[in-house]
Amino acid sequence: MSEPQILTEARRAAFLDRDGVLNIDNGFAHQPGHVQWVKGAMQAVALLNKRGYFVFVVTNQSGIARGLYTEQHVRELHAWMADEFKAQGARIDEFVYCPHHPEAEIAQYRIACACRKPGPGMLQDLMKKWPVQREHSFMIGDRETDVTAATAAGIAGYLFPGGNLHAFLTQRVLG
């Protein structure tokens, strides 16, 4: 949620899907009471921070396009999530979301856009905004669309099968 500081040195970045990676995907979470953290999520983000990675959350939020909740709900939830991570000694550098869906109920969101995963738009926009070292960056998602977005953005993509995110990160991604 924070604005980027004036940074000139490129750093590695970890792009994380939200629902199914950081929190249990219970369908259209848009309030703090809907969030159940994935085991090891806080520790995984703290480890990435300690190792010098930017940490970004990139999430499709078609519930906006479906009229289930608003962009303001998502922004408020992301601010709350950032505070929860901060309270555990972890930092999310920025949250981004795509509110679009090609079959949206709400006309203004009925768009087939490059930001909606599997499109790479959200990742590419973050790489333009922040000094990201692409060749050592990666994405973790719980769907093939996340891995496809990572590949299209020119970074490694990992499919998280659930369980403990910290264990997955240390055993499968960081080695």
* Active site positions, annotated: 17, 19
E-assigned strand segments in 5-161:
13-16, 54-60, 94-98, 138-141, 156-159
**Under 8 Å between Cβ of 52 and 10:** no
